[in-house]
Amino acid sequence: MQKDKNTVIGMILLAILFFAYFYFSNQQNAAIQAKDKHDKDSLQMVMQARMKLQDTSALNKEFLKRDTADKLSAAGDFTTAALGTEQLMTVENEVLKVTFSNKGGRVKQVELKNYKSSLDKNPIVLGGNADNKISYLINTGNNSSNEISNLYFPQPTVEKNADGSQAVNFTIAAKGGQSLTHQYVIKPNSYLIDWNINMIGADKLLSNGNLNFLWHWTTTQNEKSNLYERQMSNICFSEDNQFDYISSHKDHTFEKSAQWLSVVQQFFNTTLIAKNSFAGGNVKWERSTEKDTTHTLAVTDASLQIKVPVTASATIPMQLYYGPNDYRILQKLDNGMDNIINLGRDVYSFVRPVNKYVIMPVFGFFAKLIGNLGWAILLLTLFIRLFTAPLMYGSYLSGAKMKALRPELDILKKKHGEDQQAFAMDQMKIFREAGVNPLGGCIPALLQIPIFFALYSFFNSNISLRGQSFLWSHDLTSYDVIAQLPFSIPFGFGDHISLFTITAVLTSFAISLYNMGNTPTQDNPAMKYMPYIFPFMMMFFFNRLPSALTWYYTVSNSVTLLLQFVIQTYIIDHDKILAKMKETRTKPKAKSKWQERYAQVMETQKKVESMKNKGGK
């Protein structure tokens, strides 16, 4: 019995061992099969990837082959210029660093050595965008044409002339004997580059003697405010030797000959000049939207034609200007480009002579005298206030008369109560008897308007103020910032607070309060709250203006307030004014036609109001 028991146990153990052996064997075989499958799949994936790479390489080769064929076909007789690698070369003078490209034999970009970007403090670069180009079309064969910007010129030659200028010459030749030379002459201390296009076989290179320029240009931000710089940017040109510009309109067609076309930013411009004029063409200009968060200001596309005599050889004299919107520099060019400087245009064109013959010379004198441009603005403000002092005195005298009449008008107001029409008629009677002009005190405010527009244009366009710091402002051509907000306030306020704006608003508010104290009591809500409404509106409008302008406004308001106080307190004799007004009242006076009409209107309104009151009863 014991033997049978041991046999059963042995059989069970043996069965367990067999099951364990078969289980582990199966697991091991499954793992080996899985590894084999993984290896095969990996090998297959590698093979497929190689096949794809081979296919892509084949496609790329086919694409490159077709692209090369297209380039060679478009190049026509200029096959040696069809293919190549872009190579750059720089030539400098005292103010420019010009980078040339052999692709198109063109100016690729220009660095202005004396001007820094307000964004990164690196030198200003004009034309640095890869898509920017000034090109033109030529006939490269019997049935082919191409843009010159697509052709590769050999490395240029550089010549130094006796006058200190440098000449850069790019030349390409065709199989048929035609050739093209781009000669660039860079003169010492000049932002103007002479560009002479010399053609041999011009009758074959051009169709009907027409040279068609294609200009694509993207301007990018250089100043602190992208929005404000976009607003100051525009397209300027000379058509029939008359200056014009595009601001709100997006395109223009030249119906008459054009002398130059300029892509203008707030303080810099790039200009294409045809010495023999453009025969015609058009320009399209698109300003970036206000929601655009990139540094792009605007994009320009222009097509301009030059009529070239159909001869075997021809020279087309051109010029390129890359530089600042400096009035003195542009005026020396003697081609009307000084009009690029916005000293007053359109409805504000009447302030241009004021800027040109008064503001600019006086400010230039003070700038040389004192050096610091912030204090020069203060001296300019004092000069303007001195110049307008006679008119101001008359207005202050009128204000003093109004103040002398105030007690009498207050009694009159209590007498009439709610009857505003009766009060107005008696008030006009008192003014007439006393010889007072109630609008005389408005002269200072009205006089400020043309002066403000003149200085608004001047400070926005004066490049000498750019980058100049004063007190807490780091740049007089931009707003100062004493606090940066984590959000943007709408209606033009922005995401910052300007201290010069606050001082301008507070001084304006003080003037309003002072004037209100010298005028009769007003029940008209609009008149009552005007001292508060106007400065509040100014806050939104001024907060993005150049600190030079808000500093001027602060000084001007302070001077106005001081003059009003001194004149009315120490210079004007109020007793004499009262005696003079009493004397005037005793004299017989004839009503003017305007006074008669006004009295008739007021009498009619009074009767109508009286009838309404009776009808209501």
What is the structure's pLDDT at 463?
Answer: 92
Residue 269 has pLDDT above 80, yes or no: yes
* Residue 5 to residue 7: CA distance in whole angstroms: 5
The shares of helix, strand and coil residues in the chain, as percent rounded to the nearest 5, are 50, 25, 25
DSSP characters over 78-113: -GGGTS----EEEEE-SSEEEEEETBTTEEEEEEEE
Q: What is the pLDDT of residue 6?
A: 60
8 Å CB contact between 549 and 459: yes
pLDDT of 196: 95
Looking up tokens 């204000």 gives: 399
Helix (H, G, I), strand (E, B) or coil at 33: helix
Segment 395-420 mean pLDDT: 72
Say whether pLDDT at 64 is over 50: no
Predicted confidence band at 617 (pLDDT cuts at 50, 70, 90)? low
Average pLDDT over every residue of 376-380? 94
Measure the CA–CA gap between 144 and 70, rounded to whole angstroms: 11
What is each CA distance from 65 to 62, 72, 336, in whole angstroms?
A: 5, 11, 50
Identify the helix (H) or strand (E) that includes residue 261: strand 258-264
Q: Rounded mean pLDDT of 563-575?
A: 72
For the stretch 441-484, pLDDT in tens is 566 666 667 887 888 889 888 999 998 889 998 889 888 888 87
Q: What is the pLDDT of residue 615?
A: 60
CA–CA separation, 145 and 211 (whole Å): 12
The residue among 132, 310, 148, 264 whose CA lies nearest residue 213 is: 148
Pick the residue with more confidence: 225 or 366? 366
For a pLDDT cut of 70, what percent of the chain falls above it? 71
Q: How confident is the model at residue 544 (pLDDT cuts 50, 70, 90)?
A: confident
- DSSP tag of 570: I
Structure tokens at 573: 């004799």
Is residue 2 very low, low, confident or very high in pLDDT (cuts 50, 70, 90)?
A: very low
Q: What distance in Å separates the CA atoms of residue 156 and residue 447, rounded to the nearest whole number?
A: 60
- Spell out the SS3 assignment of 270-328: EEEEEEEEECEEEEEEEECCCCCCCCEEEEEEEEEEEECCCCCEEEEEEEEEEEECCHH
Mean pLDDT value across the chain:
80
Nearest to 322 by CA among 47, 542, 128: 128
Alpha-carbon distance 214 to 235, whole Å? 16
pLDDT digits (tens, 9 = 90+) for 500-528: 989 988 988 888 777 766 555 555 555 56
Q: Predicted confidence band at 438 (pLDDT cuts at 50, 70, 90)?
A: low
pLDDT in tens, 66-96: 556 656 666 667 777 778 888 999 999 999 9
* Highest-pLDDT range among 22-26, 540-544, 569-573: 540-544
Check residue 207 and report its DSSP letter.
B
CB under 8 A, 24+ apart: contacts of 62-70: none
Which domains does the chain show, CATH number per domain? 79-337 (2.70.98.90), 353-601 (no CATH)
Instruction: State the Cα–Cα distance between residues 15 and 10, nearest whole angstrom.
Output: 9
Three-state secondary structure readout of 366-425: HHHHHCCHHHHHHHHHHHHHHHCHHHHHHHHHHHHHHHHHHHHHHHHHHHHCCCHHHHHH
- Token look-up 């660095």 returns 111
pLDDT over 80 (residue 142): no
| % of residues, the chain, pLDDT over 90 | 30
